[in-house]
Structure 1
Amino acid sequence: MRVIMLQSWQDFLDHTGRLEGWAFRGQRSASWPLLSSLSRRLLAYCPDQRLWPLREARAMRVFRRKAHVHLDHPQALDDALRCLAMMQHHGAATRLLDFTKSPFVAAFFAMESATDDAAVYALDTTTLWSARPAFAPELTREVIDPRQPGHFERHFLDNREPLVWFGEPSEMDRRLVAQSGLFVVPGRLEAPLDELLRQYSDQGPSLLIQLVLPHGLRARAMRELYRMNITHATLLPDLDGLAHSMNQELEIVWERLIEEYLAEPPHRT
């Protein structure tokens, strides 16, 4: 994986401007590995990796058995990728890694709550689209597509094949649409994404770039993103997103308001 230490917000604009057609993921710590929420949870609490397929399958089965009471169209649960997307949307740990087609959306999620150097990862999806894993060239993107019936269970759930697939569910929810989102689906839960990409012939090292955003850039980045209307309120278009966006509003106070407040602060009793 190539690592680029950025020096300014303009650096970020320049580098991402050259990555046409790539996908992006923001993480608030540059030191975190590219692991899914399910990977992190299983590594922390369920160390016996032999049982991971059993645990993941059970979580999906329980969710499907109970979620239908909350859904107008429960048939969506029959599609493995849509089911996982729904689980992830509502807080369940899944093997899905959230990516976006927008580097600015990724920068927002990287920087919004960062307390140290953050990172935006750029994935060359244009090359990965036709790349094949060296260990099994017959496993093309179409062959392992988890949107097709039985493919998720066959190629991902057993946690044996170091595969990578990316794409969108057959139907997207409002958050995915608002975020220009897509998912990366890893075939091995214990391996970070950069390690899995090494299986894709000699393209592996160049398929992924880590753009490190120093913490000192956060204030400028968040202000620029606010001007682009990239906030929790727009990326999570519901009441939860609006409420989360108030944290950003605490930081965005215009100079005129500050001057007026300091000139004549409110009376306190």
Structure 2
Amino acid sequence: MCRTIWDFIVIEDRDAAAVNEIGVTTKPYASWNEIKKMLAKFDRGWIFRCQRYADWSLQTSLETWKKNNWGTKDRTGNLILEQIEEGILLKEFKREANNYFSSSCQKPGNTLEWLALMQHYGCPTRLLDFTYSPYVAAFFAFDECYNKNGAIWCVNADWCKERSVQKYNKEFHKEIKEGKKEEITILADFGKEETFQDFWKNPKALSMVFPVNPAHANERLAIQQGVFLCTGSSQSFKGNIDAMSEGENHYLKYILKIVVSSEARKEAIVDLNRMNINNATLFPGLEGYAKSLKDKFWIEGSLGTSYN
């Protein structure tokens, strides 16, 4: 059985937890020490995502892009993201990307790998970036958290996987029984081209959210212990989650938003740097080193260290 967030929030802390307007359990913390103790309780079945601002909800870059430009809503208020637009983005990206590949660069081999590459370079996709490391997520939450509170989202990936596997096998029960499709048993199956095309070509039937990684991860994804949550249909992220819940609000059980105070930034960044979690280690190369300089002297100065 998948562990719920109430396995981690002790009885005396539950009164401090609140449920926001979309049913997400939110737990505010004022100090880095409190946050770190909470994060240490999560097991390997959970994945984590930072948000620069605490009031942001979970939305894919494709959903945000469509919401800011166009898009319609269904009768329940969920945004409908037409799959054809996503297909056009992929087609255009694939056509022009070849002009930027070096001779030694390994090109994406399937749709998921192409989407991961698009996501990496800032093109809107249905993928939502997460990490297996709560401390990597914490770093990103605090990195730009100067004047406003940020958030760390904690999602039970085991629950997402379990529900998605059940829903996929139920949807294609007839084809599986007739040997036309393979039964999904492990997470990696979702990344197979034949299986992924079931979501790609049938944008409304398979509303779910499942964790997935491309077979060939780029260097940054590997270093940051990255993983994606992928929506199965053209609904919003919340719409896909709701479709897996079978009438019960699973936001209350399997999704937790930890609100982190901007006042804890200094303490958190210094401590995470001691763990070797900083921009220089998370972004290999000159880019990461350049980003790390903004905190290097600030950290040393806060500790009274000489710059000489």
Q: Under TM normalisation by the shorter chain, which class is it?
A: 0.7 to 0.9
Match of 2:89 in 1: 59
Match of 1:187 in 2: 232
Q: Which of 163, 182, 185 is matched with 2:208 structurally?
A: 163
Q: Which of 169, 172, 187 is matched with 2:217 structurally?
A: 172
Q: How do 1:92-171 residues align onto structure 2 when only pairs under 5 Å count?
A: 92-114=123-145, 115-132=147-164, 138=170, 142=185, 145-156=189-200, 158-160=202-204, 161-171=206-216
Q: Which of 266, 269, 278 is matched with 1:231 structurally?
A: 278
* Residue pair 2:164, 2:209 contacting (<8 A) in 1 also: no
Q: Which SS does the other structure have where 1:77 is aligned?
A: coil
Q: Which of 266, 289, 292 is matched with 1:219 structurally?
A: 266
Match of 1:39 in 2: 63
How far has the Cα of 1:220 moved from its partner? 1.1
- The separation in 1 between residues aligned to 2:265 and 2:259, in whole angstroms, is 12
Q: What is the aligned-residue identity percentage? A: 26
How far has the Cα of 1:53 moved from its partner? 1.3
Task: Tell me the alpha carbon deviations over residues 73-119 of structure 1, each in whole angstroms, 9 at most, x when there is no partner.
Answer: 77743311111111111221211111101111001111111231111
- The separation in 2 between residues aligned to 1:197 and 1:248, in whole angstroms, is 40
How far has the Cα of 1:65 moved from its partner? 1.6
* Residue pair 2:232, 2:240 contacting (<8 A) in 1 also: no
Is 65-74 or 138-147 further displaced after alignment? 138-147
Distance 1:75 1:142, change over 3 A: farther
Q: Could you tell me which runs of 5 or more consecutive residues in structure 1 were left unpaired when the two chains were aligned.
A: 262-269
Distance 1:193 1:253, change over 3 A: farther
Is residue 204 from structure 1 mapped to residue 204 from structure 2 by the alignment? no
- The separation in 2 between residues aligned to 1:227 and 1:236, in whole angstroms, is 17
Question: Superposition RMSD on alpha carbons, in Å?
Answer: 2.9
TM-score normalised according to structure 1 size: 0.84
Match of 1:265 in 2: none
* Residue pair 2:66, 2:81 contacting (<8 A) in 1 also: no
- The separation in 2 between residues aligned to 1:9 and 1:167, in whole angstroms, is 30
- The separation in 2 between residues aligned to 1:234 and 1:54, in whole angstroms, is 38
Match of 2:6 in 1: none
Is 147-156 or 216-225 further displaced after alignment? 147-156
- The separation in 1 between residues aligned to 2:112 and 2:288, in whole angstroms, is 23
How far has the Cα of 1:10 moved from its partner? 1.8
Task: Tell me the alpha carbon deviations over residues 100-149 of structure 1, each in whole angstroms, 9 at most, x when there is no partner.
Answer: 01111001111111231111011112333322488776158659954212
- The separation in 1 between residues aligned to 2:153 and 2:208, in whole angstroms, is 18
- The separation in 2 between residues aligned to 1:3 and 1:149, in whole angstroms, is 37
One-letter code aligned to 2:289: L
Match of 2:12 in 1: none
Task: Tell me the alpha carbon deviations over residues 157-196 of structure 1, each in whole angstroms, 9 at most, x when there is no partner.
Answer: 6542321110211111110111011000013455234861
One-letter code aligned to 1:67: A
* Residue pair 1:27, 1:119 contacting (<8 A) in 2 also: yes
Distance 1:222 1:149, change over 3 A: same
Aligned length: 260
* Residue pair 1:96, 1:185 contacting (<8 A) in 2 also: yes
Distance 1:196 1:50, change over 3 A: closer
Distance 1:127 1:151, change over 3 A: same
Q: Could you tell me which runs of 5 or more consecutive residues in structure 2 were left unpaired when the two chains were aligned.
A: 1-23, 73-78, 172-182
Is 88-97 or 66-75 further displaced after alignment? 66-75
Task: Tell me the alpha carbon deviations over residues 200-230 of structure 1, each in whole angstroms, 9 at most, x when there is no partner.
Answer: 3458231111111112111111111111121
TM-score normalised according to structure 2 size: 0.74
- The separation in 2 between residues aligned to 1:41 and 1:15, in whole angstroms, is 33
Is 181-190 or 41-50 further displaced after alignment? 41-50
Distance 1:110 1:193, change over 3 A: farther
